[in-house]
């Protein structure tokens, strides 16, 4: 029997409230996971159905089981979310009422050592969300040029010791498992910097995971697709868990809000930019103290959301 899929959805009430005012129709849950958010939205809005995407087979099985009670109001598809516009089209949905992204790793992915996401339990250096994909984190750790490895650790992990860590990894090759990798990383970080900022290998593992699943490029393409398929009055909401993801979300929503206006601030816009969305809350939302108490994973979560404006740049106003 498959292991239980236990994942506590973050910012659940806030997400459900956010989709309360959207028009009737379909909401895409681009990161279905255990379908906690999706089922809460379906419960709140009987006039909404959900198209749920995930690239992880375990999540798809868990999400489908959780959504079974909603019958044909819920459809589940194996897909990477940068293809969500094509998935929407192939399901005969025109514009959607909203898109939700709850980024990153689900608790079961992290808790199953054989998936290779964990620096606390030994497993292969894998970190693929879609296990049919060829590239694994071992290709980076054991195969990348030292300079490329250092770049990935610095850019994707915000790791200030990217240089020493990359050199230590290269010297220790081939690394066999996640605990060995965590150990090499730990020894490369000066002792006085190991005491703060959580587990010393956290940033390296995050960077390896992002590289393995091509996360920054996929996120950018997914957000662009979401903005393009959402109807006026519909909403796009994203929960991110670290600054690298949040920077992409913030910049994308800013472009949607300004239409990419290049005019000096404070002066009227003369560059012809057409805003397509309004930001629902500058800075977004974070978890309340009560939620943090119940679910420490929510501590790094930030939710940002936009609402699509009535007039789209690609629509003819006449």
Ligand X SMILES: C[S@@+](CC[C@H](N)C(=O)[O-])C[C@H]1O[C@@H](n2cnc3c(N)ncnc32)[C@H](O)[C@@H]1O
Window of 43-51, 102-110, 164-172, 177-185 that interacts with ligand X by CB under 6 A: 102-110
Three-state DSSP class for residue 103:
coil
CB of 300 to ligand X, least distance (A): 12
Closer by beta carbon to ligand X, 65 or else 170: 65
Minimum gap (Å) between residue 105 Cβ and ligand X:
6
By CB under 6 A, residue 9 contacts ligand X: yes
C-alpha 118/C-alpha 121 separation (Å) is 6
Q: Which is nearer to ligand X, 61 or 261 (CB)?
A: 61
Binding flag, residue 212, ligand X (CB under 6 A): no
Report in angstroms the alpha-carbon separations of 204 from 30, 103, 157, 248, 300. Answer: 26, 18, 6, 20, 17
Answer yes or no whether residue 54 interacts with ligand X by CB under 6 A.
yes
Q: How far apart (Å, rounded) are the C-alpha atoms in residues 284 and 88?
A: 27
The verdict on 102 binding ligand X (CB under 6 A) reads yes
Q: Which of residues 128-157 bind ligand X (CB under 6 A)?
A: 129
Question: Is 31 near ligand X (CB under 6 A)?
Answer: yes
Q: Which residue is nearest to ligand X (CB)?
A: 33
**Which member of 81, 110, 119, 253 binds ligand X (CB under 6 A)?**
81
Give the C-alpha separation, 200 to 187, whole Å: 9
Other beta carbons less than 10 A from residue 287's beta carbon? 22
Contact between 48 and 27 (Cβ < 8 Å) = yes
Is 230 an interacting residue with respect to ligand X (CB under 6 A)? no
| Binder of ligand X out of 22, 52, 55, 154 (CB under 6 A) | 55
Establish if 53 lies at the interface with ligand X (CB under 6 A): yes
| Contact range with ligand X by CB under 6 A, out of 34-42, 162-170, 254-262, 274-282 | 34-42
Told to check if 208 binds ligand X by CB under 6 A, we report: no
Tokens representing 171 are 């010297």
User: For the CA atoms of 198, 204, 205, 210, what is the dihedral angle to 10 degrees?
Assistant: 120
Give the C-alpha distances (Å, rounded to integers) separating 259 from 169, 225, 262, 317: 44, 16, 9, 17
| Residue 103 CA to its chain's centroid (Å) | 2
Cα-to-chain-centroid distance, residue 8: 15
With beta carbons less than 8 A apart as the criterion, state whether 6 and 34 touch.
yes
- Sole window of 52-60, 88-96, 132-140, 242-250 interacting with ligand X (rule: CB under 6 A): 52-60
Among 14, 19, 26, 36, binds ligand X (CB under 6 A): 36
How far does CA 17 lie from the centroid of its chain?
20
Residue 242 within binding range of ligand X, rule CB under 6 A: no
CA distance 226 to 306: 11
Residues lying near ligand X in the complex (CB under 6 A): 7, 9, 31, 33-37, 53-56, 59, 80-81, 102, 104, 106, 129, 218
């Amino acid at each position: 029997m498959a292991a239980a899929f236990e994942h506590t959805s973050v910012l659940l009430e806030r997400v459900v409230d956010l989709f309360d005012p959207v028009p009737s129709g379909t909401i895409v849950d681009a990161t279905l996971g255990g379908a906690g958010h999706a089922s809460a939205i379906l419960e709140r809005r009987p006039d909404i159905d959900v198209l749920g995407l995930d690239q992880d087979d375990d999540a798809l099985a868990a999400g489908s089981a959780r959504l079974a009670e909603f019958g044909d109001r819920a459809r589940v598809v194996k897909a990477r979310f940068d293809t969500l516009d094509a998935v929407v089209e192939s399901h005969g949905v025109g514009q959607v009422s909203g898109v939700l992204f709850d980024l990153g790793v689900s608790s079961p992915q992290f808790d199953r050592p054989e998936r290779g996401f964990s620096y606390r339990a030994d497993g292969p250096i894998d970190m693929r969300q879609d296990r049919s994909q060829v590239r694994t984190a071992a290709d980076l750790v054991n195969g990348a040029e030292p300079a490329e490895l250092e770049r990935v650790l610095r850019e994707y992990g915000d790791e200030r010791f990217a240089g020493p860590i990359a050199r230590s990894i290269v010297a220790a090759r081939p690394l066999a498992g996640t605990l060995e990798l965590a150990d090499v990383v730990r020894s490369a970080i000066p002792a006085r910097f190991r005491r703060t900022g959580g587990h010393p290998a956290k940033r390296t593992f995050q960077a390896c995971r992002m590289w393995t699943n091509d996360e920054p490029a996929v996120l950018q393409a997914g957000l662009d697709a979401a903005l393009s398929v959402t109807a006026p009055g519909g909403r796009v909401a994203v929960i991110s868990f670290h600054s690298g993801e949040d920077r992409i979300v913030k910049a994308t929503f800013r472009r949607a809000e300004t239409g990419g206006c290049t005019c000096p601030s404070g002066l009227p816009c003369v560059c012809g930019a057409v805003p397509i969305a309004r930001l629902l809350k500058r800075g977004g939302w974070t978890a309340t103290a009560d939620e943090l108490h119940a679910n420490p994973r929510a501590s790094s979560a930030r939710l940002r959301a936009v609402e699509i404006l009535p007039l789209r740049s690609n629509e003819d106003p006449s």
